[in-house]
Structure 1
């Protein structure tokens, strides 16, 4: 039988396609055989860094290989996220992703350098992070309703501090303005800690800060908590109403911490990594430490996490567009 080049090419393609799953399984069976890199696209000391180091410690013990946390901060998490999107998808590089890196950055940057959906595989939704609306202890405001009334009468008369575009402080403020039809003036800081210092000093009127970051000032009674951004009240702040309870109908804003792998990572490796992280997140001591960081453990994997991420992209895209914010 005479076989031409086209037929040989077709046979070669068929063989390659058939063998690809076997190659992935073989690679997964040997994984991990060397240290793994866990990229954090933010600086040390923050919530993302704390979550990564906690997960990495236990993951290394379970996998029998070191899991090394690699901080690559810069430009709202873009630099580190770009690095992971371009990494070899062999199971030896993954990252801690957040609402900023994997849901809202596309709406703030025209030249992002990565697609948060197409360039990554969601592995595990580690947990949710709520913010609190805080004002100085001596503020004349004692409720969210009073702030809304003030802004209705005098638009743009009050300020709120953020750590930059796309951060949870910024998104909380944007959602509040969108739902109340009010206008706040954003004051941008290099980090949330500096915003809190200026808040206590009376330089700004309010901050939507993470519970963990605001806790020292709350405990010292240097700020007042007017509301929480989660849908329901928080167990460790039972006296603080949700913003929805406080009159901002439909308000719900929680940032989140997740684990992502580069697109193309063999599915068996993704599945094992997802199971291992889910097991770690379910550990009582890990849950206690996560809550101390202000992170409510979750642990969703695979389809539920994928669905959640895509819903977040759609939700925050609408909020940002409605606010008239243009990507730069």
Structure 2
């Protein structure tokens, strides 16, 4: 009997531990799935685009949303919330539940420029959003109407220096990316141009000849150049684009100039990390598709997948750069 007691005690201890573990496992599984990440998404997801249908970010967002639908089995529904340089859409996202069912397809100006332009924003660029991934590097093109009388950037600079303030340019509004980039180029070229802000993007006015000049993302500029509606005087990247091989980079004339834009995906701050990770992985898979490379090249843009941390680092660096440009140019809304 003396030999069996320790054995029975050991067996009892093992049974007790097994019972405790069995009770613990459901709690552990519940802790891992209470945020819904394991099955995400289980219903349609809204993708807020803070610009109008047909705009540069809208074009890319609709492609991305379709591919996300195909990969997840749930619709990613584009919701255009245009206005105030993207601030209206950004505010709507900032006020949304951080549950993964509202996503934000945005452009760099919303989190790197607007805080230096608007005295009051309905969102905090640093606190209200969580980065998922960059999606596309989007150069801009300096577009000109044929009646401008300048067929290249050197001629534009010479014309502007001969009569300072005599050449108008359009933008999608005060403080928009096109406005800020033009101010940077004007500073580098030491010229003075007159800004004409539009509530829409102003492209129609340039095509119609009412305003002779503007910066436009490649996603919409390439088609206009190929149709012959407008001419391209320069691109904002460090090298020429394969989609526009005859259009020089502005840095070929102004070596210090650099002003690429980008588009990316964010979610409301507080969205569970597993959901952010799932979205990041899906974006990576989509951007790796040969179809994506082909589609993006035709638009003059490049796929650009990053980790959430790298996206945040890019936002921080760009905020410092554009803040200096905006303050130097004294850009303020009406």
TM-score w.r.t. the length of structure 2 is 0.85
Q: Deviations over 1:204-234 (max 9, x none)?
A: 2322222232334322334322211111111
Conserved? CA contact 1:39–1:96, under 8 Å:
yes
Point out the structure with max Rg over C-alpha: 2
CA contact (8 A) 2:144 2:213 kept: yes
Contact 2:48/2:105 (<8 A) preserved: yes
Aligned residue in 1 for 2:234:
227
User: Which segment drifts farther, 166-175 or 277-286?
Assistant: 166-175
1:2-81 aligned within 5 A: 23=31, 26-27=34-35, 28-81=37-90
8 Å CA contact 1:164–1:189 kept in 2: the answer is yes
Gaps of 5+ in 2: 1-26
Deviation at 1:22, TM superposition (A): 7.5
Structure 1: unaligned runs, 5 residues or longer: 1-18
Aligned with residue 119 of structure 1, among 128, 145, 151: 128
From 293, 301, 310, the counterpart of 2:307: 301
Cα pair 2:225 2:232 within 8 Å, conserved: yes
Count residues with an aligned counterpart.
307
Structure 2 counterpart of 1:208? 215
Q: Hey, what's the Cα distance between the residues in 2 that align with 1:231 and 1:20?
A: 51
1:130 equivalenced with 2:142 (yes/no): no
Greater CA drift, 46-55 or 311-320:
46-55
> How do 1:305-316 and structure 2 match up within 5 A?
305-316=311-322
Q: Distance in 1 between matches of 2:28 and 2:79?
A: 31
CA RMSD in angstroms, aligned pairs only: 2.2
Matched-pair contact (CA < 8 Å) for 1:25–1:268: no
Aligned with 2:160 (options 145, 151, 168): 151
| Contact 2:46 2:76 (C-alpha < 8 Å) held by counterparts | yes
| Contact preservation (8 Å) 2:145, 2:213 | yes
Query: Does 1:276 pair with 2:282?
Result: yes
Identify if the C-alpha distance between structure 1 residues 225 and 43 changes in structure 2 by more than 3 Å, giving closer, same or farther.
closer
Partners of 1:196 and 1:31 lie apart in 2 by 40
SS of 2:318's partner is helix
Secondary structure at the aligned position of 2:84 is classed as: coil
Aligned residues of 1:47 and 1:293 also touching (Cα < 8 A): no
Residue number in structure 1 paired with 2:24: none
Q: Secondary structure of the residue that 2:250 maps to in structure 1?
A: coil
Question: Which deviations, in whole Å up to 9, do the C-alpha atoms of 1:25-52 show, x marking residues without a partner?
Answer: 5422232222211111122122222222
Matches within 5 A, 1:178-197: 178-192=187-201, 195-197=202-204
Q: 1:68 Cα shift?
A: 1.7
1:24 Cα offset (Å): 6.1
Q: Please say if residues 175 and 332 of structure 2, whose CA atoms lie closer than 8 Å, have aligned partners that are also in contact.
A: no
The 2-side partners of 1:231 and 1:261 are apart by 30
What is the DSSP-based 3-state SS (H/G/I as helix, E as strand, rest coil) of the residue aligned with 1:300? coil
C-alpha distance 204-68 of structure 1, shift in aligned 2 (>3 A): closer
- Is 1:260 the equivalent of 2:275? no
The CA deviation at 1:90 is 1.3
Normalised by the length of structure 1, the TM-score is 0.86
Cα separation, 2, equivalents of 1:67 and 1:98: 18
Conserved in 2, the CA contact under 8 Å of 1:24 and 1:268? Answer: no
Equivalent-residue separation in structure 2 for 1:21 and 1:144 (angstroms)? 62
Q: Displacement of 1:82 after TM fit?
A: 0.6
Match of 2:248 among 241, 245, 252: 241
Other structure's SS at 1:244 match: helix
Distance 1:114 1:196, change over 3 A: closer
